Amino acid sequence: MKSTKLIYLEDSYQTNIEATVVNITKIGKKYSVILDQTIFYPQSGGQPADTGVIEGETGKFIVDHVKLDDGLIIHQGTLEGTVEPQQKVTATIDWNARYKNMQTHTAGHLIDEAVKNLSPEFQGIDGMHGINNQQYIEFNGFINESYKSEITDYLQKNKNLDQPIISETVTLAEIKKRGILLPFEPSKNKPVRVVSFGDNPPVPDAGTQLKNSNEVWPILLTDFEYQDGNTRIHYTLTPPAKKELPETKEATTKDTSLAEFQQQIDALANEIKQDEVLSNEAFQQKYSSKKGKFNQLAKSIKSVSPKDRGTAGKLLNQLKLTINSQANKQADTKKQEWFDVTLPGIKPQLGHAHLISQTIKEVESIFASLGFVRRRYQEIETDWYYAEGLNIPKDHPARDDQETFYFSDNVVLTAHTSNGQLREMEFLKEPPIKMINIGKTYRRQASNTHSPMFHQFEGLLVDKNINMSHLVGVSNYFAQHYFGPDREIRLRPHHFQFTEPSFEVDINCNVCKGTGSIHGHKCKVCKSGWLELGGAGMVHPTVLKNGGIDPNKYSGFAFGWGIERIIMMKHQVTDNLRQLYTDDLRFLQQG
């Protein structure tokens, strides 16, 4: 049979059409009608099927379900009178229901556009637009509920913008010419139906769409549901107020005898057995849903006299079993349901390196561009490399500065990366030494800004004629490459046992531009115009000697700065270092 011509793809607003009957078949009490062309939308892509009537001179066919099967639109329903092949008929859809479905469908797409606008990383991967009263768009990844207002604002703005929504069918040539990006490879001989919202790029779509964003009823995002790493954004629409429908009168109740009740049960059981043409969903809807026929009958048990209710209950249970077994049979024999192959595919989630790892790499490459070689020395260290050899004698008060974890008198968990200085001198034996030692360090501390484990990067440059201007130059180079071209450093005198002279290196604050105040108020980020990067200085001759290097021939500088510290400085975070170590995806996914 020739494929049905899908007029609803060309014009979603057409409510009736003249057509010719191609085929009509009967299974049980139900009929299936195929027309040469139709405006009836088949259930697919999350949008429910249209309902309506197909009328000819000799009969009337009430359409209660529509499906697409191998290019053919199958209208299912009941027949009054006769309808024959070749006959001319008028097909009319229930416009109110269709318009509501279009509203829901277009609204879903607009939410998709809004979320993509928030971050192009999110992909709409599934959607329900009214089937089983479900309305949601599912996105890959985690979308924090706090974005609700941002998405809502976007939707609101879009509606007010009066954006045209253009549905069109494009050929491969056009796709190429217009540079349309599709999430699948378009085929040569099958044009693709796409829809574009305002200026946004077209997306594939095979449903019915409104013509303008200002037509969409107000969208309310109701709830964010998270499962399997995805986020479902549920929504509802607020249709314009219409006249209240007159209340239907409750039918007057009269007692039902057990025999009558049994008759009703039998009748329903028969109907269920013959009802084979229904899709699984329609079957559930008709019999097992809240408003389904089983529930209606179950409710009427109240009208059976109390003495017979037990027996009536048993009959109901049997009927339930019949429904279940029939539903299972249907599920077994049910043909593969039509699905929209033009829907975007599921994009696998991609991970990325943690912010700390990213920063280590960045620091490594900034120093590599100056010829520094990346090293990583041990975290469990003897007292010599960690302190004694760095000119900190056993009883020296400088030992109190660092809250060190000791394994024994002689073995520590390193509280700084300066042990790498002696290790590198021993390793290379002869300058030039240009080392950037990045590693973990440990201190007995825990607060919002201090963690017991953190990372340091230790620079060491030893060569002939190295002086302080080299330290200033390298520090500035780092500040400008990591923090930004307009940043600069200053040196503040300080004391370390292993350097002489020693300094704290500060970087000017970019919030207050180094002034320490904004509009007459103290700058909240730096308080003084400068942010402390960490310690540095000219390597002490004793340390060079301890490393086996002649201090009369060579000189050098060293610095030791914190990875977490520079991350916090760069992002102007002042009080939540701990986030760097949690598994909160909302934080981690920002990287």
* Site for ligand PHE, rule CB under 6 A: 416, 418, 458, 496, 499, 534-537, 558-560
| Minimum CB–partner distance for residue 364 and ligand PHE (Å) | 17
The separation between CA 437 and the C-alpha centre of its own chain, rounded to angstroms, equals 38
Cβ pair 118, 77 in contact under 8 A: no
> Of 359 and 402, which CB lies nearer to ligand PHE in the complex structure?
402
* Rounded distance between C-alpha atoms, residue 544 and residue 522, angstroms: 43
> Of 304 and 390, which CB lies nearer to ligand PHE in the complex structure?
390
| Minimum CB–partner distance for residue 436 and ligand PHE (Å) | 12
> Of 194 and 558, which CB lies nearer to ligand PHE in the complex structure?
558
> Of 286 and 565, which CB lies nearer to ligand PHE in the complex structure?
565
> Of 332 and 400, which CB lies nearer to ligand PHE in the complex structure?
400
| Minimum CB–partner distance for residue 484 and ligand PHE (Å) | 24
| Minimum CB–partner distance for residue 415 and ligand PHE (Å) | 7
Cβ pair 123, 140 in contact under 8 A: yes
> Of 100 and 495, which CB lies nearer to ligand PHE in the complex structure?
495
| Minimum CB–partner distance for residue 557 and ligand PHE (Å) | 8
| Minimum CB–partner distance for residue 402 and ligand PHE (Å) | 7
Cβ pair 436, 561 in contact under 8 A: no
| Minimum CB–partner distance for residue 535 and ligand PHE (Å) | 3
SS3 226: strand
Cβ pair 481, 366 in contact under 8 A: yes
> Of 418 and 555, which CB lies nearer to ligand PHE in the complex structure?
418
| Minimum CB–partner distance for residue 499 and ligand PHE (Å) | 5
Residues in the chain: 591
Angle CA 126–129–133, to nearest 5: 115
Nearest to 506 by CA among 453, 431, 561: 561
> Of 319 and 563, which CB lies nearer to ligand PHE in the complex structure?
563
Nearest to 164 by CA among 209, 129, 207: 209
Cβ pair 4, 41 in contact under 8 A: no
Cα separation values, 446 from 189, 442, 453, 454, 565, Å: 66, 11, 9, 11, 14
* Rounded distance between C-alpha atoms, residue 317 and residue 182, angstroms: 51
Nearest to 201 by CA among 185, 182, 188: 182
Nearest to 316 by CA among 257, 265, 267: 265
> Of 83 and 539, which CB lies nearer to ligand PHE in the complex structure?
539
Cα separation values, 148 from 104, 151, 230, Å: 18, 5, 16
Half-sphere exposure in the Cβ direction for 298 (13 Å, CA): 15
Backbone angles phi, psi at 126, to 5 degrees: -160, 160
> Of 170 and 422, which CB lies nearer to ligand PHE in the complex structure?
422
| Minimum CB–partner distance for residue 539 and ligand PHE (Å) | 8
| Minimum CB–partner distance for residue 494 and ligand PHE (Å) | 8
Residue type, 458: E
